[in-house]
């Protein structure tokens, strides 16, 4: 086997990661090369750093070496043929060997510090390794639900090893029996547990929040979809079927537009019993029935559309609008209502043909009479202004039914 | 009065832009169309139109972002807001940013052309709906004004606004109030100015409350 083949077969000069890196991407790059989780490499470096600081020169060496690698070198290829367990075992044994070597050299090596730290690190890796891929398993096993047997065993073993490491670290370095150290001992054990399990709990919380957000969003989407289906899509289907009847099409489109507007801007659960709502509905109905656009503008509001005087006012307004739609020939009707502190005014205006008030045929007498009749009964005023050829305006005015409780 | 008017159409919907373009009269030239805030600013800086037809809702910021961006770039033009929105706060926002008028997308071609010529001449353009919004905004809702001059409409201005809300054209208002058309225009402009200069966030509060009624 030549050197070149050897190089290509199982090892390439590591390339530092450009993304998903912690410091310079060296550990991630090595992990990519070896086909293991970067957490394994990073933990090994930490342990070696504790062991007399050897992780630092190793890291620096790896950095120098990898920096000479051609950036356009072959794509990351994970070694094949060996199982991941084997690779982990190899790394573990390599680290162990290095530790023993360093210990033999006696360079800044502290038994009571390094071995517990190594145990803690091992536990950490056992719990953490591939945790990302096992997210769901981890979540369910924590929640006490069903999980794969191996995940449970792995987690328990990892926690046990890490706890042993923490305890040893502490027992070997401090006098556990000293009362002043009991508190410290608890803190250290808790800290160790937090180190091992903390990130995991954080992730679970994140997952739960994300899941909740997604659910809310999907519920909203379902609601919107349902509404659009019931309204807009149905109307579009109707329009396609009535494509040759342009009048019907316009009416359908207009009604749909208004419904959609109400839904979008109407504030959803707005009560129907407000004067504003009643007037907008009135305009919509007449528009639909007679095919003349009614532009309704309402200033202020009053939430007592069932008040007798309001009912009278609405009835009169409806007659005025219907009348304009039927007889004026105007292309558009303006309906304006202003709710003031002391009174309510309604104006219905068209720019149609107008009429001569003295020459109204008897059969159309009903208009003014019935409007006047309604307004008289509720103590309101009517004024009709009309000019032949220019249009008509009906002004209705009533005292505010409940000035004290107005909204 | 046959001065040509140049416009830029800003709307994120291709269909709306072509619809508007098709509705414009012969004496109105479309210099450019734009679909978002950046395109709009680009078109304004390079084309310098007389009038910008501006959609209230745009990707990358709303119509008001185009107005403030144009001001920051020293572009002198007038904006006519064109929207399908019924949301009062949207309309008030774009007017407060400096638009000279607001019309709905269902406006007839004649009215649209007329509105464009009028804003080009420096007038304010009120649809009945805008008049209603403004009346609502200034109606009793706001108390303890910082500056009574700016925070209240005069009786005459209210009168003009009410007639606009009732569907009257400037000409008809002038005749009815026996004042000149120029005076009606002055009142309308001064209402817009008050809306823009009064620095009350209550206007926004009002808009929110209004939706909850």
Distance of CA B65 to CAs A197, B46, B96, B99, B104, Å? 48, 18, 12, 11, 20
Dig out the tokens for A15 from the structure: 């390339």
| Nearest chain A residue (CA) to B176 | A385
Distance of CA A111 to CAs A48, A173, B79, Å? 13, 10, 78
Report CA dihedral (B86, B92, B94, B96) to the nearest 10 degrees. 170
Each residue's pLDDT tens digit, B92-134: 888 888 899 898 877 888 889 999 999 998 888 888 888 988 8
Domains defined along chain B, listed by start: 1-122 (3.40.50.2300), 125-213 (1.10.10.10)
| pLDDT class of A138 with cuts at 50, 70, 90 | low
| Nearest chain B residue (CA) to A348 | B166
Residues A233/B177, Cβ–Cβ less than 8 Å: no
Lowest-confidence pick of A90-99, A181-190, B28-37: A181-190
Residues A317/A396, Cβ–Cβ less than 8 Å: yes
Q: Dump strand ranges (E) for A68-172.
A: none
What is the rounded average pLDDT for all residues in chain B? Answer: 83
Chain B residues with CB under 8 Å of A338 CB are 135, 162, 165
Q: Which of B132, B134, B141 should we substitute to test contact with A (largest number of A Cβ atoms within 10 Å)?
A: B132
The whole-number pLDDT of residue A73 equals 43
In a domain, A168, yes or no: yes
**Closest listed residue to residue B142, CA positions, set B156, B152, B155:** B152
Q: List residues bridging with A335 in a β-sheet.
A: A296, A348
Which value does ipTM take for this structure?
0.80
Each residue's pLDDT tens digit, A8-46: 444 555 567 666 666 777 777 777 777 777 777 888 888
Each residue's pLDDT tens digit, B190-212: 888 888 776 555 555 555 555 44
The whole-number pLDDT of residue A72 equals 43
In angstroms, the CA B24 to CA B80 distance is 14
Please tell me whether residues A82 and A213 are part of one structural domain.
yes
Please tell me whether residues A44 and A176 are part of one structural domain.
yes
| pLDDT class of A259 with cuts at 50, 70, 90 | confident
Chain A closest-CA separation from residue B159 CA (Å): 12
Between B155 and A264, the more confident residue is B155
In angstroms, the CA A237 to CA A251 distance is 14
Shortest CB distance from B135 goes to which of A267, A299, A347? A299
The whole-number pLDDT of residue A185 equals 67
Report the Cα–Cα distance between both ends of chain B, in Å, rounded.
45
User: Mean pLDDT, to the nearest integer, of A185-209?
Assistant: 75
Cβ contact, residue pair A261, B167, below 8 Å: no
In angstroms, the CA B189 to CA B183 distance is 10
| pLDDT class of B160 with cuts at 50, 70, 90 | very high
**Domain total for chain A?**
2
Dig out the tokens for A231 from the structure: 């309204």
In angstroms, the CA A398 to CA A344 distance is 5
Q: Using the 3D structure, point to which of A217, A234, A257 is the last residue of a domain.
A: A217
The whole-number pLDDT of residue B180 equals 93
Shortest CB distance from A336 goes to which of B106, B108, B165? B165
User: Mean pLDDT, to the nearest integer, of B49-58?
Assistant: 90
In angstroms, the CA B28 to CA A106 distance is 91
Please tell me whether residues A67 and A179 are part of one structural domain.
yes
Each residue's pLDDT tens digit, A275-318: 888 888 888 888 888 888 888 998 888 876 678 888 888 888 98
| pLDDT class of A365 with cuts at 50, 70, 90 | low
| pLDDT class of A240 with cuts at 50, 70, 90 | confident
The whole-number pLDDT of residue A10 equals 47
> Strands of A294-299's sheet, edge to edge?
A294-299, A333-339, A343-350, A391-399, A381-387
Lowest-confidence pick of A145-154, A368-377, B32-41, B58-67: A145-154
Please tell me whether residues A284 and A161 are part of one structural domain.
no
Please tell me whether residues A163 and A41 are part of one structural domain.
yes
Q: Is the pLDDT of residue A134 over 70?
A: no
Shortest CB distance from B166 goes to which of A300, A334, A341? A334
Q: Using the 3D structure, point to which of A185, A202, A217 is the last residue of a domain.
A: A217
Q: Using the 3D structure, point to which of A182, A198, A217 is the last residue of a domain.
A: A217
Q: Is the pLDDT of residue A370 over 50?
A: yes
What is the rounded average pLDDT for all residues in chain A? Answer: 74
Quick check: helix, strand or coil at residue B53? strand
Q: Is the pLDDT of residue B45 over 80?
A: yes
Between A175 and B127, the more confident residue is B127
The answer to whether B168 contacts chain A (CB < 8 Å) is: yes
Lowest-confidence pick of A223-227, A322-326, B51-55: A223-227
Please tell me whether residues A309 and A170 are part of one structural domain.
no
**CB-based burial of residue A297 (10 Å sphere; 0-12 exposed, 13-18 middle, 19+ buried)?**
buried
CATH number at A315 reads 3.30.565.10
A360: region left, alpha or beta (phi > 0 left; psi from -120 to 50 alpha): beta
Please tell me whether residues A182 and A33 are part of one structural domain.
yes
Q: List residues bridging with A383 in a β-sheet.
A: A395
Number of alpha carbons in the 13 Å side-chain half-sphere of residue B134? 34
| Nearest chain B residue (CA) to A395 | B166
| Nearest chain B residue (CA) to A275 | B213
Cβ contact, residue pair B213, A334, below 8 Å: no
Quick check: helix, strand or coil at residue B133? helix
The answer to whether A299 contacts chain B (CB < 8 Å) is: yes
Between A347 and A263, the more confident residue is A347
In degrees, to the nearest 5, what angle opens at C-alpha A146 toward C-alphas A216 and A149? 135
Please tell me whether residues A182 and A277 are part of one structural domain.
no
Residues B113/B25, Cβ–Cβ less than 8 Å: yes
Q: Is the pLDDT of residue A251 over 90?
A: no
| pLDDT class of B145 with cuts at 50, 70, 90 | very low
Please tell me whether residues A66 and A181 are part of one structural domain.
yes
In order, the DSSP letters of A355-392 are --GGG--GGGTHHHHHHHHHHHHTT-EEEEEEETTTEE
Dig out the tokens for A36 from the structure: 């293991």
The answer to whether B175 contacts chain A (CB < 8 Å) is: no
Q: Is the pLDDT of residue A336 over 50?
A: yes
In a domain, A395, yes or no: yes
The answer to whether A341 contacts chain B (CB < 8 Å) is: yes
The whole-number pLDDT of residue B149 equals 56
Please tell me whether residues A276 and A198 are part of one structural domain.
no
Please tell me whether residues A328 and A183 are part of one structural domain.
no
| pLDDT class of A239 with cuts at 50, 70, 90 | confident
In order, the DSSP letters of A312-368 are HHHHHHHHHHHHIIIII--S-EEEEEEE-SSEEEEEEEE-S----GGG--GGGTHHH
Cβ within 8 Å of residue A110, ≥6 positions away: none
In a domain, A135, yes or no: yes
| pLDDT class of A222 with cuts at 50, 70, 90 | confident
The answer to whether B19 contacts chain A (CB < 8 Å) is: no
For residue A141, the enclosing domain spans: 3-217
In a domain, A157, yes or no: yes
Please tell me whether residues A197 and A325 are part of one structural domain.
no
In a domain, A264, yes or no: no
Q: Is the pLDDT of residue B163 over 90?
A: yes
Residues A54/A97, Cβ–Cβ less than 8 Å: no
Q: Is the pLDDT of residue B85 over 90?
A: no
The answer to whether B86 contacts chain A (CB < 8 Å) is: yes
pTM to 2 decimal places = 0.56
In a domain, A336, yes or no: yes
The whole-number pLDDT of residue A146 equals 43
Between A179 and A376, the more confident residue is A376
């Amino acid at each position: 086997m030549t050197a070149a083949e050897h190089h290509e077969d199982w090892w390439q000069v590591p390339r530092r990661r450009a993304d998903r890196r912690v410091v310079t991407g060296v550990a991630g790059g090595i992990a990519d090369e070896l086909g293991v989780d970067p957490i394994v490499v990073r933990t090994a470096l930490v342990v070696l750093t504790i062991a007399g600081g050897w992780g630092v020169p190793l890291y620096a060496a790896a950095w120098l070496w990898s920096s000479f690698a051609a950036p356009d070198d072959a794509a990351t290829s994970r070694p094949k043929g060996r199982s991941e367990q084997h690779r982990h075992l190899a790394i573990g044994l390599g680290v162990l060997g290095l530790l023993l070597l360093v210990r033999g050299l006696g360079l800044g090596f502290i038994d009571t510090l390094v071995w517990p730290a190594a145990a803690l690190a091992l536990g950490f890796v056992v719990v953490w390794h591939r945790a990302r891929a096992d997210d769901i398993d981890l979540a369910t096993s924590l929640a006490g639900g069903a999980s794969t047997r191996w995940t449970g065993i792995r987690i328990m073993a990892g926690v046990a090893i890490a706890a042993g490491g923490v305890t040893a670290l502490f027992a070997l370095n401090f006098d556990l029996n000293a009362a002043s150290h009991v508190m410290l001992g608890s803190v250290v054990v808790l800290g160790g547990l937090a180190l091992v399990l903390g990130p995991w709990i954080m992730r679970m919380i994140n997952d739960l929040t994300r899941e909740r957000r997604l659910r809310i969003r999907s519920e909203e989407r379902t609601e919107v979809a349902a509404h659009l289906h019931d309204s807009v899509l149905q109307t579009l289907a109707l329009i396609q079927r009535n494509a040759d009847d342009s009048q019907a099409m316009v009416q359908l489109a207009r009604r749909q537009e208004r419904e959609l507007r109400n839904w979008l801007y109407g504030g959803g659960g707005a009560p129907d019993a407000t004067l504003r709502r009643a007037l907008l509905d009135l305009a919509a109905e007449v528009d639909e029935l007679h095919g003349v656009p009614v532009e309704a503008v309402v200033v202020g509001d009053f939430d007592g559309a069932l008040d007798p005087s309001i009912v009278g006012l609405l009835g009169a307004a409806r007659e005025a609008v219907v009348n304009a739609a039927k007889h004026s020939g105007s292309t558009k009707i303006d309906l304006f209502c202003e709710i003031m502190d002391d009174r309510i005014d309604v104006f219905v205006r068209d720019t149609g043909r107008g009429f001569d008030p003295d020459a109204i045929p008897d059969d159309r007498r009903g208009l003014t009479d019935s409007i006047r009749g309604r307004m008289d009964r509720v103590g309101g005023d009517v004024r009709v202004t009309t000019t032949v050829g220019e249009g008509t305006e009906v002004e209705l005015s009533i005292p505010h039914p409940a000035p004290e409780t107005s909204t | 009065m046959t001065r040509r008017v140049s416009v830029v159409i800003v709307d994120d919907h291709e269909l709306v832009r072509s619809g508007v373009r098709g509705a414009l009269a012969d004496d109105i030239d479309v210099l450019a169309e734009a679909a978002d805030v950046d395109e709009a600013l680009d078109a304004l800086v390079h084309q310098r139109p007389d009038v910008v037809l501006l959609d209230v809702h745009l990707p990358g910021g709303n119509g008001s972002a185009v107005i403030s961006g144009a001001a920051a770039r020293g572009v002198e033009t007038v904006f006519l807001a064109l929207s399908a929105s019924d949301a009062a706060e949207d309309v008030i926002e774009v007017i407060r940013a400096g638009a000279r008028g607001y019309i709905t997308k269902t406006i007839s071609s004649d009215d649209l052309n007329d509105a464009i010529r009028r804003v080009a001449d420096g007038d304010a353009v009120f649809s009945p709906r805008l008049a209603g919004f403004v009346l609502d905004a200034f109606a009793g809702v706001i108390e303890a004004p910082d500056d009574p001059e700016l925070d209240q409409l005069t009786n005459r201005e209210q009168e003009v606004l009410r007639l606009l809300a009732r569907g009257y054209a400037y000409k008809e208002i002038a005749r009815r109030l026996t004042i000149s058309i120029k005076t009606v225009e002055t009142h309308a402009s001064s209402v817009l100015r008050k809306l823009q200069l009064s620095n009350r966030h209550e206007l926004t509060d009002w808009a929110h409350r209004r939706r909850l009624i």
